[in-house]
Each structure stands twice: as structure tokens, then as C-alpha cells.
Amino acid sequence: MKKKIEFCLLYRDMWQSSGKYVPRVDQLKEIAPAIVKMGCFSRIETNGGAFEQVNLLYGENPNTAVREWVKPFNEAGIKTMMLERALNGLRMYPVPADVRELMFKVKKAQGVNIARSFCGLNDPRNLELSVKYAKKAGMISQAALSITYSDIHTVEYYMSVIDEVVKFGADEIALKDMAGVGRPVMLGRLVKAIKDKYPHILVQYHGHSGPGFSVASMLEVAKNGVDIIDVAMEPLAWGMVHPDVITIQAMLKDAGFDVPEINMNAYMEARSLTQKFVDDFLGYFIDPKNKAMSSLLIGCGLPGGMMGSMMADLKGARNGINMFLRNANKPELSEDELLVQLFDEVRYVWPKLGNPPLVTPFSQYVKNIALMNILQLTQGKERFSQIDRNSWDMILGKTGKLPGTLSPKIVELAEQNGYEFFTGNPQDNYPDELPKYRKEMEENGWDFGQDDEELFELAMHDRQYRDYKSGIAKKKFEEELEKAQNSSDVKIIVKEVKLPEVIKEEQIEKVKQRCPNAKPIVSTVTGTVLWEVAVEETSMAKPLGTAYEEGDIVCFVSAYFGNEEIKTLYKGKLCAVVAQQGDKVKKGDIIAFVE
């Protein structure tokens, strides 16, 4: 009897791995019937991750979007699946336990069947509540392993995590190969170990195609007993996304597996509709580089979906780096040279930071530290001179236990800063908050929504939800789209937006003339510059000549998690300001100069 393998379509993840936005609810409703008619999917990944934040950014109600999107699949008997980040829920930073519990109740009521829960650190303590809350709400609990490649991340290591989540009651296991760097043979051995020990548990494999291993990995996990494989479809398959269902179906069919047939007329209809959405407006926000695969990702282990944000970060940082190189009469770096340097630095710092799996948000933290290190080394400073708040939380154990060992240098830095390492349960750091948000909704006269779903959205995405309610979000999106549509850099199929950069080459040259020994103050995060935290119309940068000691706070950048302190690495006086109060900056952008 042939081994049966089912397919799960990653329609949400396809878009999220390609660009900034995902289809609107009207577009999702339009394509759902074609996906159903394809007849080859037993599951659809419908929501979770950043999906609902995108709805809010559009000015759409995410709860309406989820209900409308899952409904046709529920009616067709196709299971719907969400992705959530355990301690971080549906966002990039930790969530109180009462909000996490409400999330599963709301999503079950909205028609979502399966909760795929992953912890970026593979800490079972972070997964425990996800498994228990999902099951309590009546959902299928799928505990996901964050797959990466190192001497630490062995079959034995992953099985120790699985043993714990099975004790919690997980119904299924997923292998979340988010960067696609898992080696095929090792993944096959892991699936076999799971099926040998827990034959009753379904195993699902998720592998991005970026570095090129995923097709081989899918064949290996199939040979070793996997039950379900995640796939994509054109025009968004491959590149930094996932292999196309047609290729995987043909490969597995030839290998002797029982796989579903594909209704090709329906496939072409869904393909055409997806392209229509790209041409409508979503293509303006798709980075063309995400359409290509890159073996460079094998060495650094970073997820391919980060390429767009990495290139944006490098663009800002490259100006400052090259200014220092010019001043030192050294050759400047091209974008490609700097990219290779960043990959090498990620490979260098990763084990020193305890080998966190390079998945959201920890991949961003490791990349941020590596980028800041490059800036510091260029300026003659030591590595790890600038580490942002979220990265310190990871290092100190506030978000979970690191799989590896911190280097003595990092431990020493923590002690010098007066930081304490945390060994308790990470959830204990984040007390319940629902009463606070209930009060806010009551004071504003806002409806709590069906099954408290509006309360949940405020508690999970408070800043974005307030902007949605006020209409600011929709206005900002319309302005962003208009700017993109008026851009001269429009491509025929996949469109790229060139947003204005805060720091320009001519500004650097002017600073160099006025302040020959100028040294930059660099933003460690993406956000809005705050020279004064209490923002008023008269708020502005500090006066030129303001004196700073090394390590002094110069300004703040308002990021999604709050205000990040921006410190100077140098003693000196403020000689030039590039970013004024309220200006937008990216990680690596120069805010000001001291001399």
C-alpha cells in the first residue's frame, strides 16, 4: 500500500515571503473558490504571523478578514491553519498569558482549525501554554520545531524538545525549516525518529526554497514517513518562498507515493488571479531579489525572506561605512562586498550569541548585531559596542533559553552594563494586560466584537489597532501606495518602490567639509527619530555644539516595541544633524555626527 502524503498551500506565507503586503479580504474571497477547485490541498495556511497586522495597516478589520477567508475552506472540508510565535503570539515581542489564551479562543470561533505554534528558541516552556491553550479552545495543536543547521541542532536535540511538547499534549509536529538550510538527510533522520517514537502523531514539513535544499528535503522527509508537505504555487513559488505544488506532486508520484491530483484548469485560474493581485498593487511592494534563490544563504543561515530588509539596512549603513573608509584612504565597499561581509559577520557572531535558531524575531536580532559590528569595526571600535534592547532580552534569557553557550565576551558586557541573567519561565516577565485594554475600549466606546475579537486585536496589536480605528492607518497606506504608483521605478510584472533615504551622499560630503573629523551617530533600529520624547510642534534636534561623553544618549528612535536609546560611541560635540524630530530612519541610517 502506497504511503499517502497530503499538501498544505501556504497562500499567506507566499505573499509574506515575497514582499511587504498580502491580498485584501476582497481578493482573498475572490481566489478561494479556485483554490478549492484545485482539489489537491487538505489544508490552507490562512492567517497568523504578520498577516493580521497587514490588515490593520490597510485599514481593514483583521477579524472580518479571517472569518471571510476561512469560511469557503471550512465549507469544503479543507482544514485551515494559523501560525503563531508562542511567547510572541502574532507579533515580534512577548505577549501576556491572558492575551495568548484569548487568541486561541478567538481564532477557533472565527473558524481556524489548526494552531501551528513555534518558539524561535525551541524553548518548551514557551510552547507549553500554546499547546494547552489551543487544545482548551478546541483547536488542533501543532508544535513546530525551528530548524537550523549547527553542531548543536542535532536529531537528539530536536527529539528532546518533541518529548516535552508531546507531554503537553501536542497533536502534531511541524518541522519549520524557515531558512531552508536544514540538510535533507538530517531532516529525514529526524522525521524517522519522530515516527518511530510517536507513530500516532502527524508530521508536517515546511521548507523555504531560498538556498536550494528544499526539494531534496521534501523527498527525504517523504521517504521517512512525513504526512503533510507545505507548498506554494506560481507566480509566487520558488525564490525565497517555497517549491511549487506541481513539482512536488510530480516528484512524489514518481517516487511511488499516494498524492492527490491537481485540477490544472483551477490551478491556472488561481495563478492568473494571483498575478492580477500582483499587477493591481501588491507588486509595488515585492522586492525583485526575493524572486531569486541564493546559495549564499547556506553559509549565514538567515531566512531568504529577510533579503529585502537586509538590503535596505545595508543601503543606509553603506554610506556611513564608506565615509569612514574614504577618510582612512581605504577602498570603498560595493553593495555585494558589504553583503558578503555581513554574512561572514553573522556566521562569526551567531555561536557567540548562543546559536539562537535564525527565525523571526531572533534572525533579525542576530543580523542587527552583525550589522552594528561592521559599523563599529570600520570606525576602529570593538564588536558588540551597540546592542539593541530586544537583542539584550534574548541574550539575558528573558525570551527563553538559548540552545548554545554565550561567549565570555558577551557575559562580560552584560555584567559591565549591570544586566542580570534570567533563568525563570519567560512568561513570568509579562503580566496579564486584558483588564487594561478592556478599560480602554470601554472609555472609547468601542465594541468588544463577536467573541471578544476586537478586544483581542487591541491587546495583540495596540498601536496598529488604534491607527486603524482612527483612520490614520488607511490614510498612510493610501499615501504609500500613491507614492509607489507615481514612482519611475515601476517594473512590468514585479514592481519595486524606491523610498527616499534619510541620508544622502551629498549630505555626507557637506558634513565632511564642515566637520573633517566627524563621526556618525547611527540608528540601531527602524523607526521615527525623537530628539525630544514629548513630541511638540516646536520639538527639534539638540543645538550644534552640544557635548557628549562616550556612551551618552543622544536621541531616541520610536520603534514598534517602544523607544530605543541611541547612544554615541564617541566623546565629542554635535556638529551636524541629518535626521530631525519625526524623520523616519532605517537600521544603519546616520542620524547625526559628533566631532
Q: What percent of the chain has pLDDT over 90?
A: 59
pLDDT number for residue 510? 67
The pLDDT confidence band at residue 495, using thresholds 50, 70 and 90, is: very low
262 with 365, same domain: the answer is: no
301 with 280, same domain: the answer is: no
520 with 412, same domain: the answer is: no
- Number of domains the chain contains: 3
- Render pLDDT for 138-194 as a digit per residue (tens, 0 to 9): 999 999 999 999 999 999 999 999 999 999 999 999 999 988 999 999 999 999 999
Backbone angles phi, psi at 121, to 5 degrees: -105, 0
Q: 3-state DSSP call for residue 566?
A: strand
Measured CA to CA, the distance from residue 275 to residue 364 in angstroms comes to: 30
231 with 314, same domain: the answer is: no
Please report whether residue 359 resides in a domain.
yes
Measured CA to CA, the distance from residue 168 to residue 124 in angstroms comes to: 9
Measured CA to CA, the distance from residue 253 to residue 304 in angstroms comes to: 28
- Render pLDDT for 463-483 as a digit per residue (tens, 0 to 9): 999 999 999 999 999 988 888
CB atoms near residue 414 (< 10 Å)? 17
- pTM of the predicted model over 0.85: no
Instruction: Report which residue type is found at 277.
Output: F
- Render pLDDT for 286-317 as a digit per residue (tens, 0 to 9): 878 788 888 878 877 777 656 556 666 666 67
Give how far Cα 189 sits from Cα of 195, 331, 426, Å: 10, 47, 31
* pLDDT > 70? residue 411: yes
Out of 413, 429, 445, a domain closes at 429
Out of 395, 429, 463, a domain closes at 429
Please report whether residue 463 resides in a domain.
no
* Mean pLDDT along residues 530-556: 75
16 with 106, same domain: the answer is: yes
Measured CA to CA, the distance from residue 575 to residue 425 in angstroms comes to: 46
With beta carbons less than 8 A apart as the criterion, state whether 19 and 290 touch: yes
The pLDDT confidence band at residue 502, using thresholds 50, 70 and 90, is: very low
Q: Enter the DSSP assignment of 569.
A: S
165 with 301, same domain: the answer is: no
pLDDT number for residue 517? 77
HSE-CB for 495 with a 13 A CA cutoff? 24
Q: What angle do CA 225, 212, 83 make, to 5 degrees?
A: 60
Q: Please tell me the chain's helix, strand, coil percentages from 3-state DSSP, rounded to the nearest 5.
A: 50, 15, 35
Q: What CATH number should be reported for the domain holding residue 107?
A: 3.20.20.70
- Render pLDDT for 184-242 as a digit per residue (tens, 0 to 9): 999 999 999 999 999 999 999 999 999 999 999 999 999 999 999 999 999 999 998 99
* Mean pLDDT along residues 374-400: 88
Please report whether residue 488 resides in a domain.
no
Please report whether residue 444 resides in a domain.
no
Give Rg (Cα) of the chain.
24
Contacts of 85 (CB under 8 A, 6+ apart): 49, 91, 92, 117, 118, 119, 120, 360, 361
pLDDT number for residue 35? 98
Full domain range(s) for residue 349 = 294-429
pLDDT number for residue 486? 79
- Bridge partner list, 172: 142, 202
Out of 286, 314, 336, a domain closes at 286
Measured CA to CA, the distance from residue 264 to residue 465 in angstroms comes to: 40
User: Of 273, 304, 89, 116, which is closest to residue 209 (Cα–Cα)?
Assistant: 304
Which cell goes with 253? 508520484
Q: Enter the DSSP assignment of 452.
A: G
317 with 356, same domain: the answer is: yes
User: What's the length of the chain?
Assistant: 595
pLDDT number for residue 491? 39
